[in-house]
Amino acid sequence: MFESSKLNEPLVSVIIPTYNRPEYLQQAIASAVQQTYQNIEIIVSDNCSSENPRAIVESFGDPRIKFWRQERNIGMLANQVYACKIARGKYLASLHDDDMWNEDFLIKLVPHLEANSELIIAFCDQYIIDAQGKIDRALTEENTKAYKRDKLAPGVYQSFYKIGLVDKSIPTAAACVIRNNIIDWESIPSEVGGMWDLYLTYLCCISGYSAYYYPEKLTRYRTHEQTDTILSGGKDAQAKIRKAKSEMFCYKIFSQDQRLKEFQPYFQQKWLEAHTTLGIGLLRNQQTAAARPYLWQALSQQKFNLRTLAALTLSFTPQPLANQLLGVSK
């Protein structure tokens, strides 16, 4: 195995935004500290957790770790971007506080970026783990296939609009290394919200640089009940509303970008689907009048869609029955 030589390695900034996940945070930091690639700075940015995680950070006794605590909760995106803006590394990699990296993650991806100055991003496949950290083999296989990484050839992609924004093969938030100086972190609008990783992929796609795919599973993405993906897919109205608004904002930008004209019908469809999602979220939040315009727009601009039609019908259903059908307890 290639031995890491710190003297010849460019600095990589590891960004770990965190909020109220002390147990997972410790595991995430440990996986960064244990990288065989040694020349790293680890920036832990706490979004004003109810319990200050400083003691967890300091328990590692590693001078490469820098800790910052926000004075108030500034939101997930702002906390993430803040850490990116203070990063000094030639390369940057995001590590969520509930995920983990294999110890060879950086040492297998960074050399490709170093060898080819035309690359902006190098990414890999990932394992899916449960709340206890155990690899879910079936879910991992399903995830790889869902994002078409099972059919993705290793190597350089000069144009990667389709794999990045349509197939969503690039796990930007969890399993990639980015050339830092090309991204203008100030340019990420707050409206992007939880879709920041897809928007970051978009910025990489339009940069004029290329992407590199390394087909091994080098990271571990954790699924548990408190992830925004799970919340927004379930009955959490606020999470669903947040997700839908972020999607509407991003897909509108994508659909208006002439560089992405080939994929405009796809982005338009996703934009309309987000209208339906927002309408359902507002219905769950008992904001019936606010929900209807989004549902009408979604229904009027696309072919027959049962999900949209059912949601619109519910908006005209008496509130007690609508609540029962939506699974709203109050």
57 and 141 assigned to the same domain: yes
Residue 157: its pLDDT value, please?
Answer: 98
Q: What does the chain come to in residues?
A: 330
235 and 186 assigned to the same domain: no
76-91 residues labelled b (16+ CB within 10 A) or e (exposed): bbbbbbbbbeebebbb
Residue 1 lies in a domain: no
> Among the three residues 197, 222, 247, which one is the final residue of a domain in this structure?
222
40 and 11 assigned to the same domain: yes
Residue 199 lies in a domain: yes
Model pLDDT for residues 170-194, shown as the tens digit of each residue = 999 999 999 999 999 999 999 999 9
Residue 13 lies in a domain: yes
Task: Compute the average pLDDT of residues 233-256.
Answer: 90
* Residue 247 lies in domain: 228-326
CA distance 267 to 122: 25
Structure token digits, residue 289:
């009048």
pTM for the model stands at: 0.90
Task: Compute the average pLDDT of residues 184-205.
Answer: 96
Distances (CA, A) of 184 to 49, 84, 210, 266: 27, 10, 17, 27
Residue 52: its pLDDT value, please?
Answer: 96
59 and 167 assigned to the same domain: yes
Q: Is the pLDDT of residue 1 over 70?
A: no
48: nearest Cα among 17, 12, 25? 17
CA distance 92 to 178: 5
